[in-house]
Amino acid sequence: MRSEREMMELVLDFARADERIRAVTLEGSRSNPRAPKDMFQDYDISYLVTDMQSFLDDPDWIDVFGERIILQTPEDMAMFPPDLGRRFSYLMLFTDGNRIDLTLIPLDEKDEYCREDKLLRVLLDKDQCLPEVPPSTDEDYWVKRPSAEYFRDCCNEFWWVSTYVAKGLWRREILFAIEYLERYVRPMLMKMVEWRVGIQTDFSVSIGKGGKYLEAHLTAERWQKLLSTYPGGSYEGVWAALFAMGELFREVANEVAAALGYAYPQGDDERVTHYLQRVSRLAPDATEIF
């Protein structure tokens, strides 16, 4: 596996030799001084270029970076509508295990681009044309303190959509139930746990993409409670996960409410929990809930 030094030299040597590339930057975890280092970190590289089309017309130019296992070019895909505007990215996984996510950016977007993300490090600026970029920081990704209204809405969404999961389980529609559990209910639970971490750390940390740093901020007991909210492939497993979610959400939300001086909707919690318990005990041919 090529070392970080070898990969960075490859990226920069190519840029130095190509007159179309005027600047090179690094983003993502490798530019984050607080991110743990490991061999799976991507190289999130941007080339700011004068002639985008000449690169796009020659799809083989990226071969210089090594033999690939697989390539994805999101801006050239029909299934996923592009969202980078005039920019174009090459996501490359190489046979030695390294990965480069390389984005081409028109040079005339340099000022806008340099303001977009504080996790940005300038590696090369041939013409000293980039605006001043402060030291890289992950502060844009720190947990944000919720307003009372945001907290209220999170609680409402959690308990409201929990009833959809119960309905799907009673109907024996397990895929529907899991979809709503994971797509709508879990994000509210994770948001509440995130806020609890924010309170513990004075809202000065990031829990990482997908909550990947969350374990470090939870007690062993709470971590196990969180893991218990993930269902297996059975109706009993999804019911157990739903009730485990409710228990953990209640516990954490009350702590967040107390710390921030907000009101927890205890009535909604009690009424919905009672409803869920009733539905979980209903016979398959029942015609009434209560």
Average of per-residue pLDDT across 233-252: 97
Final residue belonging to a domain, choices 107, 140, 173:
140
Sign of CA dihedral 152, 153, 155, 160: positive
Final residue belonging to a domain, choices 140, 161, 189:
140
Q: Decide: helix, strand or coil at residue 45.
A: strand
Residues 50 and 119 in one domain: yes
Residues 116 and 189 in one domain: no
User: Does residue 39 lie within any of the structural domains?
Assistant: yes
Task: Answer yes or no: pTM beyond 0.85.
Answer: yes
**What integer pLDDT is reported at residue 166 of this predicted model?**
98
What does the alpha-carbon distance between residue 261 and residue 246 come to, in Å, rounded to a whole number? 21
Residue type, 159: W
What does the alpha-carbon distance between residue 91 and residue 25 come to, in Å, rounded to a whole number? 16
Return left, alpha or beta for 82; rule: phi > 0 is left, psi -120 to 50 is alpha, else beta. beta
Residues 92 and 152 in one domain: no
User: Does residue 290 lie within any of the structural domains?
Assistant: no
What does the alpha-carbon distance between residue 177 and residue 167 come to, in Å, rounded to a whole number? 8
CATH for 130: 3.30.460.10
Q: Provide the greatest CA pair distance for the chain.
A: 75
Residue 123, C-beta contacts closer than 8 angstroms, at least 6 positions apart:
8, 11, 12, 24, 25, 26
Residues 123 and 203 in one domain: no
User: Does residue 288 lie within any of the structural domains?
Assistant: no
**What integer pLDDT is reported at residue 182 of this predicted model?**
98
Return left, alpha or beta for 43; rule: phi > 0 is left, psi -120 to 50 is alpha, else beta. beta
Residues 98 and 8 in one domain: yes
Confidence of residue 70 (pLDDT cuts 50, 70, 90): very high
Confidence of residue 238 (pLDDT cuts 50, 70, 90): very high
Contact between 121 and 139 under an 8 Å Cβ cutoff? The reply is no
Residues 81 and 189 in one domain: no
Residues 195 and 170 in one domain: yes
User: Does residue 289 lie within any of the structural domains?
Assistant: no
Residues 34 and 154 in one domain: no
Residues 80 and 168 in one domain: no
User: Does residue 234 lie within any of the structural domains?
Assistant: yes
Q: Which of 38, 39, 43 is nearest to 62 (CA)?
A: 43
**What integer pLDDT is reported at residue 111 of this predicted model?**
96
Contact between 280 and 238 under an 8 Å Cβ cutoff? The reply is no
Query: Mean pLDDT across the chain, nearest whole number?
Result: 96
User: Does residue 287 lie within any of the structural domains?
Assistant: no
Chain mean position to CA 96: 26
Residues 147 and 125 in one domain: no
Average of per-residue pLDDT across 10-27: 98
Residue 277 is part of which domain span?
142-281
The model's pLDDT over 100-109, given as tens digits with 9 standing for 90+, comes to 999 999 999 9
Residues 108 and 190 in one domain: no
Residue 78, C-beta contacts closer than 8 angstroms, at least 6 positions apart:
none
> What percent of the chain clears pLDDT 90, i.e. is strictly above it?
90
Final residue belonging to a domain, choices 140, 168, 188:
140
Number of H helices, E strands in the chain: 9, 6
**What integer pLDDT is reported at residue 273 of this predicted model?**
98
**What integer pLDDT is reported at residue 82 of this predicted model?**
80
Q: How many domains does the chain have?
A: 2
Residues 125 and 163 in one domain: no
User: Does residue 199 lie within any of the structural domains?
Assistant: yes
Write the DSSP string, 122-169.
Answer: EEEETTS-SPP-PPP--GGGSPPPPPHHHHHHHHHHHHHHHHHHHHHH
Average of per-residue pLDDT across 45-54: 97
CATH for 197: 1.20.120.330
Residue 55 has pLDDT above 90, yes or no: yes
User: Does residue 184 lie within any of the structural domains?
Assistant: yes
